Amino acid sequence: MTFPRVRGSGILSMKPLAWLVGSVLVAAVVCAPTAAQGQAAWSASDCASCHDKALSPAYSKSGHARVEQSCAKCHSNVAEHFKAQSEGTDGPVPSLKHVKAADLNATCLSCHEKATQESFMSSMHARRNVACSSCHSVHSPKSATGQLKTKKDTELCYSCHKAERAKMNRTSHHPVREGKMGCTSCHNPHEGTRPKMIKAETVSELCYQCHTEKRGPFLFEHAPVREDCVSCHDVHGSNHKRLLSQKAPTLCYNCHISGSGHFGSGDNYSTEKGVPIAPTGAPTGYPTVNSRFVGRSCLNCHINIHGSNSPSGAYFTR
C-alpha cells in the first residue's frame, strides 16, 4: 500500500499519515465483530461448554468437523442464544427439531447441491416432506459413510418401506440380506428426475449394468423383455424362481392366452384344479386339468426367453 507524499516537515507533515493509520485501526475495531460473526464465529469450541453431547467422537471425524464450519452456518439465532445464556436468561433456541422440512432441506442444500443432491427438491422424498435429518445425523452418525442414522442404508430405508423389507425376506431375492449390495446400489434417495429414484434412465438399463448377458442385441427379441424387466420380475423379492412375479407357466399365460396345440387348453385358467374333460360344447379355454402345470413350465423348451441369435430361435428354443 502506498501513501500520498506530504510536503513539509515536522509534526504537521505527520498528521495526514497519523490520521490515515488511525482510521484504519478504528475501521478494524468496528468491523471485527462483524467478521467474527461470519464463518469463523460460533465454532464447535465456542459451543462445547454446553453442547458436549452434540460434539461426539463421531462428529469430530465427520466432514462437517473437518472443514471447521461455523455452528451458525446451520443453526439460526446463535449469537442471540449465546448472549442470553451468558446473561442467565432464556433466549431463542437454535434447534432444528421444529424447523419445517423444506426450510431444513434448503439449509443443507446451500452446501450440498453439486453431487447426488442436485435434484433432491423435485424428488419423491422432498415432495413428501422428508427432511435431510430424517435420514442423516450431523452430530451422531452411525454409518461409515454418508452420516446416516443407521449402520447400513438398508436399515434406514426399511424404517419407511415396510413392503420392500418383507419382499427381501422371500426365498428369491437380490443379495441384500447377505450384505453384497444395498438399496443405494440401485436407488439414489436424492434423485428427482428418474422413475422410482433409480440410478439409470430406465429399469432395464439399470438391470443391464449387472445382467449384461440379457442386454442383446438379439436377432429375435422377446417383446416384454425389451419393454421392461419388471414385466416378469419382482425386483425386490419373490417366492418364485429367478424373482419371477408369478410361477411359470401362469406368468406366460398372461400374454400367451392360446396354446396353439400345446398341452392342455393352453389357457391361463388351465390348472390342476380344472375338470378332467371339458363338457360338450364348452368354449375354447375351458379350465381343464393340466398335468404338466405342476413341476414344469414353458421354460423347459423356451430356454432363451430373453432373446435368441439362433437362425431357428424365433420361438426362443435355442
Using one digit for the tens of pLDDT, what is the confidence trace for 69-89?
Answer: 678 788 888 888 888 888 888
42-46, 47-51, 58-62, 245-249: the lowest-pLDDT one: 42-46
**Is there a domain that residue 300 lies in?**
no
Residue 287 has pLDDT above 80, yes or no: no
pLDDT value for 3? 44
**Is there a domain that residue 140 lies in?**
yes
The average confidence (pLDDT) of the chain is 78
Q: How many domains does the chain have?
A: 1
Please report which helix (H) or strand (E) contains residue 221, including its range: strand 220-221
**Residue 46 and residue 82: Cα distance in Å, rounded?**
9
SS3 21: helix
Query: Residue 266: CA atoms inside 13 Å, Cβ hemisphere, count?
Result: 10
Residue numbers of the domain that contains 136: 57-116+129-147
**Residue 248 and residue 200: Cα distance in Å, rounded?**
29
Residue 142, phi-psi category: left (phi > 0), alpha (psi -120 to 50), beta (remainder): alpha
**Is there a domain that residue 274 lies in?**
no
**Is there a domain that residue 204 lies in?**
no
CA distances, 119 to each of 125, 136, 145, 160 (Å): 11, 17, 21, 21
Average pLDDT over residues 134-148: 89
- % of the chain with per-residue pLDDT over 70: 75
245 DSSP assignment: S
pLDDT value for 264? 42
**Is there a domain that residue 109 lies in?**
yes
**Is there a domain that residue 281 lies in?**
no
Say if residues 236 and 196 touch (Cβ distance below 8 Å).
Answer: no
Among all chains, which residue has been given the C-alpha cell 445382467? Answer: 211
Residue 270 has pLDDT above 70, yes or no: no
pLDDT value for 93? 76
Say if residues 123 and 192 touch (Cβ distance below 8 Å).
Answer: yes
Q: CA gyration radius for the chain?
A: 34
**Residue 245 and residue 231: Cα distance in Å, rounded?**
8
Amino acid identity, residue 161?
A: H
pLDDT band at 12 (very low <50, low <70, confident <90, very high): very low
- % of the chain with per-residue pLDDT over 90: 36
pLDDT value for 8? 43
Average pLDDT over residues 44-65: 78
Identify the residue with better confidence: 216 or 16.
216
pLDDT value for 27? 41
Global pTM exceeds 0.75? no
**Is there a domain that residue 287 lies in?**
no
Using one digit for the tens of pLDDT, what is the confidence trace for 217-231?
Answer: 999 999 999 899 999
**Is there a domain that residue 61 lies in?**
yes
pLDDT band at 305 (very low <50, low <70, confident <90, very high): very high
**Residue 131 and residue 105: Cα distance in Å, rounded?**
6
Query: Residue 135: CA atoms inside 13 Å, Cβ hemisphere, count?
Result: 20
